[in-house]
Amino acid sequence: MIGRNGIWTKICAALAVAIAALIVSAGLLAALAAGNIELDSEAARKVAQAINAARTKAKLTVLRTHPLLQNRAEFGAAATAKAFLSNPTNPSTPKELKDRNFARVVPGSAEIVLQIGGWGSVEQMSRELAESEFARLKALTHLAVGVCRSTSGMGQPVWVAVVIGVRTVPELDPERINQGQRDFYQRCHLCGYQYLGRLAKPGSKNMGGLVALCPKCKRRFDVFGIDEDGRYHRPPWFMRGFKPRAMKDPISAWLFVLTHCRYVLDSKQYGRAEVWQLAEQTYRKRMGDCEDTAILLADWLNASGFWARVVLGRVRRGGHAWVVISQKGQSYILETTGRGGKHRRMPPRAEVLTDYFPYVQFNRTGVWFRTSNKWTGDYRSDKEWARGPWPAPSCKKRCKRR
């Protein structure tokens, strides 16, 4: 970030959920007679078993079940049988199988494959489905089989099956990005909306911090910083409780950071668009850009017992980072770079500094996001700020990393 250009890596192009439907043997379906349609879970179990046995033989992963997907397959089988009963020559696709937003059924579904058909015996149905191309799709992770038993016009039993295979992608997580994963699903913790996304250009020199913006409620709901090795972390990872010396008062620590740390763009220092330094690194090097000096000051303030947070936001048109400190019910902005010019003598009260537009706050224990996209000078209100749902990073894990 934030430097001069405010570089953030974007989460681009939503992944489309692809649905492919294959009708295996519609002939028998058209011959369904009016009659009972009964769910046959024993037959469904046999089909699932046969598919997974074929996968094991082909050295593919065994597909997991999912109760909600199973529900969808069973409704789908019954609805397919009904659709063929009411209009054998031109059955409509049941709405149970049309809903494209399977991401809501199984979180993170990126691809969905359907097989629909009718058979004269359970054995034949199991065999044909296990031998089908579907059973050998490598990327699949989950499977649901719904089978209904009905009767053909000739009085013979007919089994109608709906088989759903799904490929899920994991939830957006910094560790997974570091492992090279690019496809994710995201869930906005502010409004609950779920969607699939793909990360743009991993490993590029232009990669910056990462902020997730909800396509539905248009609010920011997740944020990752990027360390000197190009690895992503949620912001508390960068706060280690660094205390270079005993602090007399917050103002002296603020003035120390202001006067001792030179403002240097990451592109100059690292040849990369963005690097977040640990407080200790910034202190040792005596230089950094806005979030580096803000992290140093806030970490030091926190370690000395003060309520303080790093704030990411915008000043006029540029991305920026600063520190907010709160004492006796009053919040003040501590500008840690020369950009603050006039704010370098006395810290201004947060509610009067209208050109500082905050998006995200963090400290060692958590990250807070704006509940609306309007300006606020209130950095402490639960009405204005919602905490991200992730647990505070454990000290054990962080201390090991140092």
Whether 93 contacts 193, CB under 8 Å: no
Q: How far is the CB of 219 from Zn ion (least distance, A)?
A: 6
Q: Name the H helices within 9-66.
A: 26-30, 41-57
The residue among 84 and 221 lying less far from Zn ion, judged by its C-beta, is 221
Backbone angles phi, psi at 167, to 5 degrees: -105, 120
Annotate 41-65 with b (16+ C-beta within 10 A) or e (fewer). Answer: eebbebbbebbbebbeeeebeebee
Identity at 170, one-letter amino acid code: P
Q: Report the run of H or E that residue 291 belongs to, with start and end.
A: helix 290-303
The residue among 45 and 216 lying less far from Zn ion, judged by its C-beta, is 216
The residue among 14 and 20 lying less far from Zn ion, judged by its C-beta, is 14
Q: How far is the CB of 63 from Zn ion (least distance, A)?
A: 31
Residue ranges binding Zn ion (CB under 5 A): 188, 190-191, 193, 214, 216-217
The residue among 188 and 279 lying less far from Zn ion, judged by its C-beta, is 188
For helices 41-57 and 122-131, give the axis angle rounded to 10 degrees.
30
Q: How far is the CB of 229 from Zn ion (least distance, A)?
A: 31
The 194-199 sheet, strands edge to edge = 11-12, 194-199, 183-187
Backbone angles phi, psi at 59, to 5 degrees: 60, 40
The residue among 78 and 190 lying less far from Zn ion, judged by its C-beta, is 190
Q: How far is the CB of 372 from Zn ion (least distance, A)?
A: 12
The residue among 53 and 386 lying less far from Zn ion, judged by its C-beta, is 386
